[in-house]
Amino acid sequence: MRVNVRAGYAASIGAMLGLRLYPLGQDEVHTFDKGARFQAPLGQSVNMHHTPTRFSEVVPVSDILPVVLHREVEVEVLPSDCACCWFPWTLASGDATANDNPLHAIWAVCRQDESVSRFVDDLIFGSAACIQAMATVVEVDDAELNQQQLAAVARASSAKLTLVQGPPGTGKSEVAAAIVQQWVKDDTESVLVATSTHAAKDVLAERLRRRQIRPSTRARNQRPQESKDSQVFVETVYMSSARTDRTVQKVLLDESSQITTAAALVALTHGCEKLVLIGDPQQLGPVSSFGPVSSTSSFAAFAEERRSFFEVLADRFQLQPHRLQVQHRMDSRLCEYPSHRFYGGQLETAASVEVGGVAERMFPPGLTFKAGTPGHPVVFVDTSEIQTCREKLVPFFGSLSLHNRMEAQIVAELLHGFKEAAVDPSCMCVLTAYKAQDSLLAEAIHGSSSTERVKMRKGRTTMIREQGVDPLSKEPHPRIYTVDGFQGNESDYVFYSAVRSGSTATGFVGNPQRLCVLLTRARRGLIIVGSRETLQHTEEWQQWLQSAEKQEFVVDDELVARLQRREVAQRGPL
């Protein structure tokens, strides 16, 4: 792949990607050392040659980051088939878009603005000096933390750059709060805790309050909520751009495996001198810093950015993240498979974790035990033999998505059985991978209007940012989420609708990171409804179906017939 960059003013290119530069008019290949920059005179073009690792590879923002743009940069992508596409990348004065924050941050780094410390400059352009530990060894005493968590706090207090990998349930949020508390004890410098989501922001703010720290949180059009002595800001990475009148030398990025390089820079361009990243690359990674874009968008070339800042730094500096290995969430039987499949068998269960399980009495009449271990907290309800339980591609608010009407009815019936067994609805949640199925499940379970629900959820971020109110708090239990939207959350009982059935394709349902998230959300029981016949065509699902200990059920013909009649009465012929 060749990327041709025409810079209207100047170009600044580092060799953090191992790229070779071919200035026009010169035959010699120039390889620039780490941290070096190439300044292009006005009007000169620069070619960057990059060998793709797969066909039709996109150009992620983290790869193009060292290219300075002052007025306009045009990126020409030439895949192996020699097709040519132009993506003008512009940010005209006064042209406000949702993508302004990462672009302004990129500009600040490449122009070497005063807001960008030498430390951040070294992080981006690859100088090893930025990872050297501080001279002082800090002793940490915290009765609420285990030894691994204490070691993470001590490391974060002594090093300029710290990466902490926290598998599900290992107390990442508690460690983050403890690190901030230690920082506040050490000196009076301001601290910024930046997260990828509002949900994570709220969790961390609450953890800090438990430790008698009053963080500053902010909604748009509101004054910061802080005391005079508060030096701790808790915001999403994009919220952090609104406060340009502050210097924050210590930054903690929570859920950083979901934050891209461009997004991280939004939080780092306030004079950062010390950085902690907490995340888990085994779970779902980031989406593009530039949001969902159409094929005609100026940012289409960058829409597939998937590599997190956590992974970029770990690879660049050959860092071994400090890993937390004791989980406090799941019944040990729920933990067993994901521990071996995704974490090398090193994930341990704390003795304090309550024992869960799913008893047969919790199921509604019409489900028959087929195989496995009775009472096991992992359950698979196989729909392979139900001919009407098939996926369907449907229009969904200007796009296309998949749903499975009979599967939604089966999940609704399972929830009814658990309620009859005296399980509190607030202790249950439903997950799926497809937005159309998410809406269908809401209709089947709560009778919710798809149009109103989608409209409300689309406006959720705006309501949180501007009013400080989360509309999801008004939704009835059990609540329905996509797997991606539920990362970082947990529930006693998790029900999953796999949707895919009637073909050999599983789409992104078989993504390993997505499966890791799904299998690690439940505290007491995980109930998966899907077609073994279809799911087994994906390696990850095949491994789970064959290797994971569980109990398996099938749906009796009589119950299938009753659910079919109910579905037809509600939404017409199947």
The yes-or-no verdict on residue 551 having pLDDT over 90 is yes
CB 489 within 8 A of CB 431: no
Q: How far apart are CA 544 and CA 548, in angstroms?
A: 5
Which residues, other chains included, contact 266 with Cβ-Cβ below 8 Å and sequence gap of 6+? 101, 102, 104, 105, 237, 238, 240, 241
Q: How far apart are CA 551 and CA 543, in angstroms?
A: 16
Structure-token match 């994570």, residue found:
200
In this structure, are 412 and 460 located in the same domain? yes
281-310: average pLDDT: 61
In this structure, are 65 and 209 located in the same domain? no
Q: Among 95-104, 504-513, 514-523, name the one with the lowest average pLDDT.
A: 95-104
434-447: average pLDDT: 93
Q: How far apart are CA 31 and CA 22, in angstroms?
A: 9
* 278 C-beta neighbours (distance < 10 Å), count: 28
**Per-residue H/E/C for 117-176:** CHHHHHHHHCCHHHHCECCCCCCCCCCCCCHHHHHHHHHHHHECEEEEECCCCCCHHHHH
> In sequence order, what are the beta bridge partners of 195?
236
In this structure, are 383 and 270 located in the same domain? no
Q: How far apart are CA 56 and CA 78, in angstroms?
A: 9
β-pair type (322-323, 191-195): unpaired
Instruction: Compute the residue count for the chain.
Output: 574
User: Does 3 fall in a domain?
Assistant: no
Model pLDDT for residues 205-253, shown as the tens digit of each residue? 999 999 999 888 764 445 555 444 558 999 989 888 877 778 899 999 9
Residue 66: what pLDDT?
Answer: 38
pLDDT band at 112 (very low <50, low <70, confident <90, very high): confident
285-311: average pLDDT: 58
In this structure, are 265 and 201 located in the same domain? yes
Residue 291: what pLDDT?
Answer: 47
Residue 465: what pLDDT?
Answer: 60
pLDDT band at 14 (very low <50, low <70, confident <90, very high): very low
For CA atoms 28, 33, 39, 43, give the dihedral sign: positive
In this structure, are 265 and 368 located in the same domain? no
The yes-or-no verdict on residue 42 having pLDDT over 50 is no
The yes-or-no verdict on residue 319 having pLDDT over 50 is yes
391: exposed, middle or buried (Cβ count in 10 Å: 0-12, 13-18, 19+):
buried
Residue 263: what pLDDT?
Answer: 87
Residue 153: what pLDDT?
Answer: 94
In this structure, are 435 and 483 located in the same domain? yes
380-396: average pLDDT: 95
pTM for the model stands at: 0.79
Residue 185: what pLDDT?
Answer: 85
User: Does 178 fall in a domain?
Assistant: yes
Model pLDDT for residues 125-184, shown as the tens digit of each residue? 776 766 765 556 677 888 889 999 999 999 998 899 999 999 999 999 999 999 999 999
In this structure, are 256 and 383 located in the same domain? no
User: Does 210 fall in a domain?
Assistant: yes
In this structure, are 110 and 64 located in the same domain? no
pLDDT band at 84 (very low <50, low <70, confident <90, very high): very low
User: Does 562 fall in a domain?
Assistant: yes
> What's the whole-number average pLDDT of the chain?
77
In this structure, are 172 and 253 located in the same domain? yes
Domain count, the chain: 3
Residue 87: what pLDDT?
Answer: 29
Q: How far apart are CA 330 and CA 118, in angstroms?
A: 43
pLDDT band at 532 (very low <50, low <70, confident <90, very high): very high
More confident residue, 346 or 97: 346
* Structural domain of 542: 339-571
In this structure, are 117 and 69 located in the same domain? no
- How much of the chain, in percent, has pLDDT values that exceed 90? 51
User: Does 453 fall in a domain?
Assistant: yes
User: Does 252 fall in a domain?
Assistant: yes
109-136: average pLDDT: 75
The yes-or-no verdict on residue 79 having pLDDT over 60 is no
The yes-or-no verdict on residue 21 having pLDDT over 50 is no
The yes-or-no verdict on residue 552 having pLDDT over 90 is yes
Residue 455: what pLDDT?
Answer: 66
More confident residue, 106 or 264: 264
In this structure, are 42 and 166 located in the same domain? no
350-369: average pLDDT: 95
Residue 318: what pLDDT?
Answer: 87
In 243-354, alpha helices (H): 261-268, 309-316, 332-342
Residue 133: what pLDDT?
Answer: 53
Residue 118 is part of a domain; what is its CATH number? Answer: 3.40.50.300
In this structure, are 271 and 367 located in the same domain? no
More confident residue, 485 or 496: 496
The yes-or-no verdict on residue 24 having pLDDT over 60 is no
User: Does 86 fall in a domain?
Assistant: no
- How much of the chain, in percent, has pLDDT values that exceed 70? 70
Structure-token match 């530069």, residue found:
21
CB 105 within 8 A of CB 68: no
Which residues, other chains included, contact 171 with Cβ-Cβ below 8 Å and sequence gap of 6+? 145, 146, 149, 324, 326, 328
User: Does 10 fall in a domain?
Assistant: no
More confident residue, 107 or 410: 410
From 78, 93, 119, the end of a domain falls on: 78
